[in-house]
Structures are given as C-alpha cells and as structure tokens.
Amino acid sequence: MDRHLGDALAVSFPAGWYDDPQEPSQQRYWDGSTWTDQRRPQQGPAPYQGQFGQPAQHGQVYGGAQPGPAGGGQQTGQQQYAGQPQQHGQAQYGQPQYGQPQYGQAQYGQPQYGQAQYGQPQYGQPQQGQMQQGYGYPGQRVHTTPDGQALSGWWRRVFARIIDGLIVGIAGLPLTGYFYWQYVQVLLDYMEKIFDDAAAGRTTTTTTLPTEAYKWMIPAILIGLVVAFAYEYFFLTRSGATPGKKAVGIAVRLRDVPGPPPGSAVLKRYGFYTGLSLLGAIPLVGSVFSFVALINDLWPLWDDKKQALHDKVAATNVVRT
C-alpha cells in the first residue's frame, strides 16, 4: 500500500512542503518519492475542515495555504468565501475551470489525496483485521500486541514487582512472623557460639547453618509463597493487574487475547518464576538456576515481544493501561 501510494505521489507531486496527512496543523516535506521527518507549522491558519482537498461549507471563511507545494496556492491568511462567484469569463486564481478538478482534489469517482478508496486503508493506517506489527511513525519503534495494545517497558515491571513484594511481605506477616522470629533467634544463638569459640581460641570450620534454622526457615518461605500466589491469582484473574501493577499503569493479559488472563496462564507464569527461585537455593546446582532466574528477569530488555521467559511459557504479555 505505502509503495503504491509513494509511486502515485512521485508522479503527481514534486518535492516540496505539503499539508501533513497525519497532522493538518503542520506541513511536512515530500522529497519527491517519500515523506521525510522534516515538519514545520502551517504558514497561516489550518484549513477549515482539518483536511486538505475539502472545501468549506457555504458562507464560511477559511484561510491558510491551499494543498500542494508552498507558494502554489493562495497567499497565507487570504480569506475566501466558499461559493463566492467569479467575475464573468474569468477564473479565480487557484480555482479550476469548468470540468477540471481543483489541484489537490480528485476527479469524480477517484479518491482525494490522503484519503483511501472505499475498503482500502488510509495512508499510515493498518487494514481492517490487521495491526501494525511493532511500528508507528517512520523511524519510531512501537512494541505492541497483535491487536495493537502497547507493551510495558522493563522499568515499570521492576517497580511493580517491588511494590507487590512489599505488600505481600506485610500481608503475610501474621502467618509467617512467628517462624521468622524463631529463625532469627536460632541465627543469633549460632553467631554467639561462633564468637565464644573465637574468644576461647577454638576455630569454627563449618559454614552451614544449624539444622534447627532450616526447621523455621522452610515453613516461613513456603507460607510466603502460598500468600504470594493467592495474591497474584486473585488480582490477575479479575482485573489483570495487581496493586503494584496498577500503581505504575500496567497489566497482564494473554498475548493474543485481551482482558484478564485465565487461571491456567497465571499458574504457569507464577510457577515458572517461583520455581527458578526455589531451585536457586539448592546447594551446588543452585548457582546455575540463579543465573537462569536473572536471565529471565532481563529477557524483556532484548526480546522483540517484550516477554520474559515466564511470559513465553504462559503466552502472556505485560501491557500499558
């Protein structure tokens, strides 16, 4: 579509300043074959109806340059009344003679410049049922879902997870607080023993935590994971966004289907993300899984669909709201 339109413009219009089809209040430079990024304000008030090639209604005043190259239409700011009669036998400057179309207007049955034929997309607009696959204006990269919803940036996701982590931690304290308290007491006793041994000249060779510490730490972690899953499942399946995500203006949805994600997608997403964290705590092999967890968090930075690995497993996207 764009190539054929460019070919048509190359034949019909030489290089110069024309009304911007995207923004009628400014002009854009046409280099003879394609639009450039050079823009400038209209040389006077914008056309009355906001789109060149369309006349004003009878008795209404409009000003500004006529469609076409700068200097090829009326003088800037000159007023003309639609429907004003010409002098007998003379055509007004810039007005067509009888039976000829005005410059910038199409003949009968042909579309005006900047307007699409019936059933054809307008310049720069996707066809019906198709979306722009990650592209906006020329030179500007816009990542979207297949139906056109803008994707979230990486930092918004980070801030949302920090906010949600604080909320979940506070909400889970009534259930996990006792276990963490006992865990801290065991750690304090362990550190005190190490200091006493050092003062007595005894060298401590072990670097592992005492078994009793794991007795309190593991239940606290498991309860915290259950609370976090209930929090995530409840908010995502109902509105697509946890309070942290709502605070930064993002939400989770299926990549190909708008709206809150189903419970199965939330389970896959949360399970993959949490599984990497748990596997990272295993001695020896844990460092490998910790590295994979880090890659998972950073993956949206270079992925063309802005998905983390847990998004790909669940076929979800984090989008702007």
Write down the pLDDT at residue 208: 75
In this prediction, residue 90 carries a pLDDT of 46
Please say whether the beta carbons of 260 and 253 come within 8 A. yes
Nearest to 280 by CA among 291, 269, 267: 291
Q: How far apart are CA 25 and CA 44, in angstroms?
A: 9
List the one residue out of 318, 314, 310, 313 whose CA is nearest residue 277.
310
pLDDT digits (tens, 9 = 90+) for 62-95: 333 334 444 333 333 344 443 444 444 444 444 4
* CB-CB neighbours of 237 under 10 Å: 17
Per the structure block, which two tokens stand in for 35?
A: 């639009």
DSSP reduced 3-state for 159: helix
Name the stretches of the chain with pLDDT < 70. Answer: 1-12, 43-142, 204-207
User: pLDDT tens digits for 271-282?
Assistant: 999 999 888 888
pLDDT for 261: 97
Measured between its terminal Cα atoms, the distance across the chain in Å is 31
